[in-house]
């Protein structure tokens, strides 16, 4: 299912499909310990984006894609202080995924403008960044510009 959005930038709420549906978010991202995919899809509807954390598991990713997830997320790729990673993923996982499926994938975990280029080259369709944006010394606008420059 292709990723669609209502706005120029999709608003994806983390972990809470009921709240995402209530607020009219473009989508929701769920982890393995959150609401199961089928329930999240039911709550969000067929037109919403539903993404699933798959850590470093090919099996979990294939299950999510088969169930209809719009994207899968792999990580952590780098050290991160945002949250304690449950796994480490290698760039080969992104390459494999991009070769075996058309479902989008997101790279997450310690991603910065300085280290994101190899992930994009390996096959990441999207990057998830938190601390590198919100804690950027020149502010979030400068961080986003730095990511744009790195991805150009």
Break the chain into its structural domains and give their ranges: 12-151
* Mean of pLDDT values over 52-78: 97
pTM greater than 0.85 (yes/no) = yes
Write out the two tokens for 79: 């050290």
Q: Does residue 8 surpass a pLDDT of 90? A: no
Instruction: Express each pLDDT in 96-105 by its tens digit.
Output: 999 999 999 9
Closest CA to 75 of 93, 59, 60, 62: 93
Q: Does residue 51 surpass a pLDDT of 60? A: yes
Angle, CA of 120, 10 and 23, to the nearest 5°: 145
Confidence grade of residue 82 (pLDDT, cut at 50, 70, 90): confident
Its CATH architecture, for the domain 12-151, is Alpha-Beta Barrel (3.20)
What is the per-residue pLDDT for 3? 57
Q: Does residue 6 surpass a pLDDT of 60? A: no
Percentage of the chain beyond pLDDT 90 is: 88
Confidence grade of residue 115 (pLDDT, cut at 50, 70, 90): very high
Are 46 and 3 contacting, i.e. CB atoms less than 8 angstroms apart?
no
How many residues belong to the chain? 152
- CA dihedral (49, 53, 59, 62) in degrees, to 10, reads 10
- CA dihedral (95, 101, 102, 105) in degrees, to 10, reads -50
Instruction: Express each pLDDT in 118-151 by its tens digit.
Output: 999 999 999 999 999 999 999 999 999 999 999 8
Q: Pick the residue with more confidence: 1 or 125?
A: 125
Report the SS3 class of residue 120.
helix
């Amino acid at each position: 299912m292709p990723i669609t959005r209502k706005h120029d930038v999709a608003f994806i709420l983390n972990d809470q499909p009921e709240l995402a549906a209530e607020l009219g978010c473009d989508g929701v991202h769920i982890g393995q310990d959150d609401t199961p995919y089928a329930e999240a899809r039911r709550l969000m509807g067929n037109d919403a984006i539903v993404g699933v954390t798959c850590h470093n598991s090919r099996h979990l990713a294939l299950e999510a894609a088969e169930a209809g997830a719009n994207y899968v997320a792999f990580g952590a790729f780098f050290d991160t202080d945002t949250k304690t990673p449950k796994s480490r993923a290698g760039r080969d996982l992104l390459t494999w995924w991009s070769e075996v499926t058309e479902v989008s994938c997101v790279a997450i975990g310690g991603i910065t403008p300085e280290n994101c280029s190899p992930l994009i080259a390996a096959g990441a369709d999207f990057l998830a960044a938190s601390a590198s944006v919100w804690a950027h010394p020149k502010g979030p606008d400068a961080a986003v510009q730095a990511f744009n420059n790195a991805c150009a």
